[in-house]
Amino acid sequence: MVQINMAEREITVKVVYYGPALSGKTTNLQQLHQLIDPVARGKMLTLDTADDRTLYFDFLPIQFGTQNGFAVKIKLFTVPGQVMHKSTRKVVLAGADAVAFIADSQRSGASANAYSWRDMEANLRSNGLDFDSIPKVVQFNKRDLPDVKPLQEIKDAWGDIPTFPAVAIRSEGVIETFRELLRGLYRGLEAKHRFGEKFGLTEKDFLKGVLTNFS
């Protein structure tokens, strides 16, 4: 959950990228890391298995200052998508303030998407987080591959949850997904903690503070 350190004038939030194995979670973080100003980003940490899948998590801290002197730190994580790493996903998801679900657009990935979504819901609830209210977006990645679901079919199936098409390996849809996730994150924090009143941090300033650091 959000950490507010008044003495150090720091606000720290946690964002987790979730989804099935090989859906593009790590690729999203790699693209964000490449696009962001080196001054605003921390080191990206990655632990991989022998078959080049993320075994534990990626951690990408992003920091920016507010007009009234607070530093906002955004910690980005991904989880391992393989079924065998269920316990690790639960640990990484603990304390999340927002979640980006990265799905495979191919019809062949539908069952893996569904399993991972149910797994995410179960892990959020196990960590004491409200699945219905936590800010979340869905990115349908790999739009460049054959036999992908039509976008209208995706929108009809996911209803009110914001969905974004992407080809993450080419950076397409990566920033759009991240921007909408940050918008939902801010609104959730505003509702719970009155960020505008307490810290003079508006939604516009929050989004600008992060996104102006991207090329």
Domain span holding position 157: 3-211
pLDDT digits (tens, 9 = 90+) for 12-56: 999 999 999 889 998 999 999 899 888 888 888 777 655 545 544
CATH number where 150 lies: 3.40.50.300
CB 167 within 8 A of CB 141: yes
**Which amino acid is located at 208 in the chain?**
K
pLDDT digits (tens, 9 = 90+) for 70-92: 788 899 998 876 666 677 888 88
pLDDT digits (tens, 9 = 90+) for 201-214: 888 888 888 888 88
159/80: higher pLDDT: 159
Phi, psi of 151 (to 5 degrees): -60, -40
Q: What is the pLDDT of residue 55?
A: 43
The tokens for 182 are: 């940050």
Quick check: 66 pLDDT over 90? no
Q: What is the pLDDT of residue 16?
A: 95
pTM (whole model) above 0.85:
yes
> Residue 73's CB: how many other CB atoms inside 10 A?
16
Number of domains the chain is built from: 1
CB 145 within 8 A of CB 106: yes
